[in-house]
Amino acid sequence: MAKEDDMLLSTIESWGIVDVDSTLRRFCGDKELFVFCIKEFAKDENFERMKIGFENKNYQEAFETAHMLKGVLVNLGMNGIYNKVYNLVELLRAGKYSEADTFKNEVLQDFEDFKRKAAMLG
């Protein structure tokens, strides 16, 4: 099991979107839990809810879901996407919806990329 986790962690590290070392410290070295959480996060329904929020111009919904994703992203050490979502949240908080609408495409694309990679973890 431990070997398998090591392998999966190497795979995650190879994506270049998760800061594995510092995040593993946050997980008190629990590799299994770390991998489990990455897999779980890829299934998080807030991605879809945020997307629908933008499609329906429901910016409150978009804000709430983005805010929630932001907290998890930073805890999982996904700093690149976190920074983008951080900016997206601030745009929405400031009511700059057209800018947010444009910017969200980049964020959604990153999420799709992450989900695709995570699906390969099994």
Partner 1 sequence: MLATGKKIVLVVDDNFINRQIMCKILQDDYFTVQAANGREALNTLYEYGDSISAILLDIFMPIMNGYKFLEIIKEDPVLASVPIIVCTQNETEEIEMQALKMGAVDFLSKPYNPPIIRQRIANMIKLRETSAFINTVERDSLTGMYSKEAFYARAKEFMAKESEKNYDFVAIDLNDFKIVNDMFGEKIGDELLAYWSKIVIDTFGEDNIYGRINGDVFAVCMPRIENYSNEIFTQAVSRLNSFDVQIVLDVSFGIYRVDDDTIPVSLMCDRAILAIKNGRNDRSKVYAFYDEKLKEELWNSQQIISNMREALDKEQFKVYLQAKCDLQSEKIVGAEALIRWIHPEKGFMSPADFVPLFEKNGFITDVDLFVCDKVCALIRSWIDEGIKPIPISVNISRVDIYNPNLKDSIVSFVKKYDIPVKYLHIEITETAYTENAKQLIDTVIALRNEGFHIEMDDFGSGYSSLNMLSEVPVDTLKLDMGFLRHQTEDGHNGNILNFVINLAKWLDLAVIAEGIELKEQLDFLKSLGCSYGQGYYFSKPIPIEEFNELRKSMEEQDYREILALKDYSDIKLSEIWTGSSDFNKIFNEYIGALVVAEFTKKSLSVVRANEVFYNLFDESERDKISVANLYDYMDDENKKKLINAVDWAAENKSTFNITIKWNIKGKPVFMRERGRIISANEERTIVLLDVEDVSENVKLTEEKASFSGILEFAIKNDGILYFSYYPENDIALLDERTAEEFSLPERLENFSQEAVEFMGVDRRSKTDFEEIVEYAKAGKSKSPEIVYFKNKSYKIGVYSIKNEETGMSKSVFILQ
Of the candidates 92, 55, 52, the one whose C-alpha atom is nearest the C-alpha of residue 70 is: 92
CA atoms within 13 A on the CB side of 107: 27
Question: Cβ-count burial of 35 within 10 angstroms (0-12 exposed, 13-18 middle, 19+ buried)?
Answer: buried
Q: Which of 6, 13, 40, 112 binds partner 1 (CB under 8 A)?
A: 40
Q: Which of 8, 41, 59, 91 binds partner 1 (CB under 8 A)?
A: 41
Interface with partner 1, residue 37, by CB under 8 A: yes
Q: Which of 71, 106, 109, 116 binds partner 1 (CB under 8 A)?
A: 71
Binding positions for partner 1, rule: CB under 8 A? 25-28, 30, 33, 36-37, 40-41, 44, 64, 67-68, 70-72, 74-77, 86, 93
